[in-house]
Every structure is written in C-alpha cells, then in structure tokens.
Amino acid sequence: MENIKNIIFDLGGVLVGLDGQRSIDAFDRLGCQRVSQYIVEHRTEDLFYRIELGLISTHEFCEEVREMTQTTATDEQMVAAWNALLTPLSELRAARLLQWHRKGYRIFLLSNTNDMHWQHCARVLFPEEVLKAFSQVFLSYEMQLAKPDRRIFEEVLRQADIRADETLFIDDNQDNVATAATLGIVAFHNKNIDQWTEALQL
C-alpha cells in the first residue's frame, strides 16, 4: 500500500456499530412491528430504500410509518428508534482514523445512509475532531446514488479529485468492495468492525 494517499471509510460496520436488536425493541415499543421486521431482514427496498436515496424527507418517512402501522408515535420518537441502530465510534477506531489523518492521508466517508443517521453521528456519536478530519463526506441520500452502484464510486473519485490507484476503500459489504475494485480502488472487506484497525498498516 505504498502508493495510498486517500482513505475512504464506510460508516456502519466500519466506524460505527450496528445494534439491530436495540432498534427493533425501540420500534416495537412504539407499536411499529412491521418496521422492526425490516431490520431483521436487512432489506433495502420500499420506504427504507427511498429515504436512503433521499427521495423522501424524514418527516415523509415518519408519516408513512404512521400510516403503515397505525402508530401515534411522533417524528422525534421514530427518529430516536431508528438511530438506536447505531453504536458510537469507539476510541480505538477514532484514534486510528486520526492517526492516519495526522500522517497526511486524506480521509473521506462514503455511506449508504439517511439524514436521520448522519445527523445523529455528527451531533452525538462522532467527536468534533473526527468530523474535521474528513476532507469530504459522501452520503447516498444527498447524492441519490447508493453502493454498490458503480456510478457513486466514479462520482466520489471525480468530486474529490483523487486517483483510484492511490485510494483505499474500507467497507463491510462484499458487493461494495467488489465494485470499487473494478475501478482500480484498493478495497478492503472489513468482516468485523475492528478488523481494519489491526489488519491495515499504513
């Protein structure tokens, strides 16, 4: 990895953890069992796919959940239940990211996510120094593209003005890793959340 100058991080499964049961329990308490079933199945379609692509707003998402489940839960309650999926950036992961940033690597984030999750990360889960370490943040709901679509990787390379062969991409999804590799990006499949902190030496 001698030529690496840029590091692109995925969010869930790489920087922050995913606790599906915690979110399921929160939705169930709101009477939203049909929503919690999505989390069990890890589906990316219908309502959840549209919010991830930025095709509907957070309020529209909550309105559809209310109609679908007949719940009287507020937007705030549903946002909190959905954000319960995410666990904080650990000190270990934060330290390694910042170490690479201080060494001069340009740090980027590329995530299939929605406004609810990103705002929760930015306001609650990420220390300010980590947020400042990102040269740019690329989010599916803003780009209206999602991994593993090849176009989102092409757009990141173009907007960041970086070369594929000088870029390391860390993601927990094999399809995303495989697509990135077709563009010449050095891709690492992170099979457990802290694997990259030990396996990658830069």
Is the pLDDT at 45 greater than 70? The verdict is: no
Residues of the chain above pLDDT 70, percent: 95
Among 5-19, 38-52, 124-138, 159-173, the least confident range = 38-52
Contact 20, 39 (CB under 8 A): yes
Among 26-30, 35-39, 61-65, the least confident range = 35-39
Confidence tier at 8 by pLDDT (50, 70, 90): very high
Backbone angles phi, psi at 110, to 5 degrees: -135, 110
The helix or strand, by DSSP H or E, that contains position 112, with its residue range, turns out to be none
Residues of the chain above pLDDT 90, percent: 78
Q: Which residue has the higher pLDDT, 139 or 68?
A: 139
For the chain, the residue count is 202
Helices 75-83, 58-69: axis angle to 10 degrees equals 100
pLDDT at residue 104, as a whole number: 97
Stretch 158-181: mean pLDDT, rounded? 98
pLDDT at residue 41, as a whole number: 57
Is the pLDDT at 43 greater than 60? The verdict is: no
pLDDT at residue 81, as a whole number: 93
Confidence tier at 47 by pLDDT (50, 70, 90): confident
What is the rounded CA–CA span in Å between residue 200 and residue 34? 40
Stretch 106-134: mean pLDDT, rounded? 97
Q: Give me the chain's average pLDDT, please.
A: 92
